[in-house]
Amino acid sequence: MLPFFGKMHVAYLPKARVIGLSKIPRIVDTFARRLQIQERLTQEVAQTIEQIIDPVGVGVICEARHFCMMMRGVEKQHSGAMTSAMLGAFRTQKKTRDEFSGAGESPQQRVLRKVAWLERLRFPAMSVTLEI
């Protein structure tokens, strides 16, 4: 197995409890440091946040580049893979899911859309982007 690297976008809609901003990178790092595949990493981060704080919904998107694709086999240097895990309101409400995911946008568009999405919600929400 060869490593992969990229970004993980994590958002949750709190119900009664919230967690500190520094806890989300700690959760991601805990799972990312293990011998891991991208699909499982994405699911484990979402499930852990759901178990810890019981939010209305959790959304996790992982965008990564894999050395196995860059060094061996197809040798595509600029290819990547994207996985997502949507739980609760992110799974059941299409509008919430679409506003969070926004596939195909530039990084600047994504940031502006997330800020607008957070402002429109009637209750507080958290959205974090991390390097993995």
Q: What is this structure's pTM? A: 0.74
Residue 43 has pLDDT above 80, yes or no: yes
pLDDT tens digits, one per residue of 109-120: 766 666 666 666
pLDDT above 90 coverage of the chain, percent: 23
Element (H, E) at 126: strand 126-131
pLDDT tens digits, one per residue of 54-65: 999 999 988 877
Cα–Cα dist 108/110, whole Å:
5
Which fold, 4-131?
A: GTP Cyclohydrolase I, domain 2 (3.30.1130)
Number of H helices and E strands in the chain, helices first, is 6, 4
103 compared with 5, residue with greater pLDDT? 5
Domain ranges of the chain: 4-131
pLDDT of the residue at 56: 92
Answer yes or no: are the C-beta atoms of 117 and 9 closer than 8 Å.
no
